Amino acid sequence: MKFLTLLKKELRELLTFTTLLTLVGSMVLLIALGGVMDTAMEEAIDSKGEINICDRDNSEFSKAVIESLKVAEYDVKIVELKDGDYAPQLEELEIGSVVIIPDNFSESLENVLAGTLNSEGKIDPVDVEYVSKMTSLSAMSNVDSGSQMALSAIEAAVKSVVYANKNMSMAEIELIEAPVNLVETTVVGDKQAEASSMLLSSYSMMTGMVVPIVIFVLIIYSSQMIMNAIATEKIDKTLETLLTAPVSRLSVLMAKMVAATIVSALFAVAFMIGFDRMMGGMTGMVSGEIDSAVISELGLNMSTGAYVLLGIQMFLSLLITLAVSLILGALAKDAKSSQTLMLPIMGMAMVPYMLSMFVSINDMGAAKWIMYAIPYTHTFMAQENVIFGNMPLYFGGLIYQVILLVICMTVAVRLFMSDKLFTITFNFGQKKSKYAKKKSLFSK
């Protein structure tokens, strides 16, 4: 019985209203994120059945291949593309990929069936160009890169048409086992290069994981550090002693923020170096299959200027986090309440963190405006915006963060300059004592 009594006591102390609120809030947050990612995955899978084709051969055979694709229940859309710069043309047509059937496609295929050998004594398959556009570093945004699907679909359609229109010998059947060679061109922003979209997507996804992880860890660590410091000093009355000393309160506030910024920056550098080395081992296999010149040509590697732009938004996010943490830390009544008060910061950091790694926030429709209202979203998107040339969105987010920082700092300074700092507490979900109730009744 004594054990059960002690157990009930401990459970009452641990399972408070604020603890349950944190638990339920975290669960709802994760369920909502799961729903968003599930929708994104369904859209990516649905788009796999779409094939955009530019038929430059315009022969009876190429038309028969296209009809064969339609019979196979592919959603085929015929488009017109010119040679040269594909980026503006894809943008104008509002498509992410296209298969280009070249001139003399049917004639080249006849050479394959005839067993015509090249100078090396081999049979050359027919080159079919596949152009795709990368728009995000997230995992699910490039699920529908579709190069292998396009190759398989075209090969199956070619075989189907040939089998239906020609009596073939066993030797000819062997020759047509791989009639098509896919030549891939990948577009990133306004740049393009001959490279596999699948390999580039894998490389970008892996390298794009480092920055979001560092930002998330930095936000959570810095907020926890400053909130615990303020809450502990307030409970121990050391904050009251410090602020009543002959020292400017603004100096005390700025000293706390600068110290927390320096420590957080040290952790950010350490995490960045560590994660970069860790991801370097993971991306080594992928990057080994891609020419580094191609990565540089497409602008997928971070330049010094890109790191500076990313660092500016990381610094602004850190300052916003510290300002909000100072305010929330001042509201803490004890150590437990300080942990509960971290929930808003954790939620605002976790939502864009998870979404930026799996989906493209820019493609979320009306929901993206809700995400843009969260200041951390712009920092998690900074790397992607810089790489893909979305500079208006980058600078718009930067201005929004500066405005929000000014507001948060103003509130924090006013709170520290007033005596409310010593009396204000967060009592949500807790009942007032009878004495407090009587006092409130006769306070007038």
pLDDT at residue 436 in the model: 43
* Chain centre distance of CA 409: 28
pLDDT at residue 433 in the model: 44
Rounded to whole angstroms, how far apart are CA atoms 343 and 21?
A: 9
Closest CA relative to residue 352, chosen from 382, 309, 308: 382
54 beta partners: 100
pLDDT at residue 32 in the model: 76
Q: Which CATH architecture has domain 44-194?
A: 3-Layer(aba) Sandwich (3.40)
Rounded to whole angstroms, how far apart are CA atoms 237 and 32?
A: 41
Q: Are strands 50-55 and 191-193 parallel, antiparallel or unpaired?
A: unpaired
137 DSSP assignment: S
Rounded to whole angstroms, how far apart are CA atoms 254 and 197?
A: 48
pLDDT tens digits for range 251-306? 877 887 788 778 777 777 777 677 667 656 655 555 555 667 777 778 777 778 88
Integer CA distances (angstroms), 357 to 182, 315, 380, in order: 29, 21, 9
Integer CA distances (angstroms), 150 to 62, 308, 440, in order: 15, 39, 74
Rounded to whole angstroms, how far apart are CA atoms 429 and 424?
A: 16
Question: Is there a contact between 132 and 183 (Cβ–Cβ < 8 Å)?
Answer: no
Q: How far apart are the first and last CA of the chain?
A: 48
* Chain centre distance of CA 272: 17
The pTM of the full predicted model, rounded to 2 decimals, is 0.75
Query: DSSP string covering 318-336, please?
Result: HHHHHHHHHHHHHH-SSHH
Torsion sign (Cα): 290, 293, 299, 301: positive
188 beta partners: 134, 191
Question: Is there a contact between 169 and 225 (Cβ–Cβ < 8 Å)?
Answer: no
Q: Which two tokens stand for residue 252?
A: 């005390």
Alpha helix stretches (DSSP H) within 289-364: 292-298, 304-331, 335-340, 343-358
pLDDT at residue 286 in the model: 54
Question: Is there a contact between 399 and 378 (Cβ–Cβ < 8 Å)?
Answer: no
* Chain centre distance of CA 128: 32
pLDDT at residue 392 in the model: 92
Q: Which two tokens stand for residue 261?
A: 């910024």
CB atoms under 10 Å from CB of 369, counted, come to: 9
Q: Which residues contact 145 (CB under 8 A, 6 or more apart)?
A: 97, 132, 134, 197, 198, 201
pLDDT tens digits for range 409-441? 888 888 877 777 666 666 554 544 444 444 433
Closest CA relative to residue 313, chosen from 207, 407, 411, 395: 395
Q: Which parts of the chain sit beneath pLDDT 50?
A: 429, 431-444
Alpha helix stretches (DSSP H) within 47-59: none
pLDDT at residue 378 in the model: 92
Q: Give the residue range(s) of CATH 3.40.1710.10 domains in the chain.
A: 44-194
pLDDT at residue 60 in the model: 82
pLDDT at residue 373 in the model: 92
Question: Is there a contact between 360 and 136 (Cβ–Cβ < 8 Å)?
Answer: yes
Q: How many residues does the chain have?
A: 444
Write the burial class of residue 364 (CB in 10 Å: 0-12 exposed, 13-18 middle, 19+ buried).
middle
pLDDT at residue 432 in the model: 47
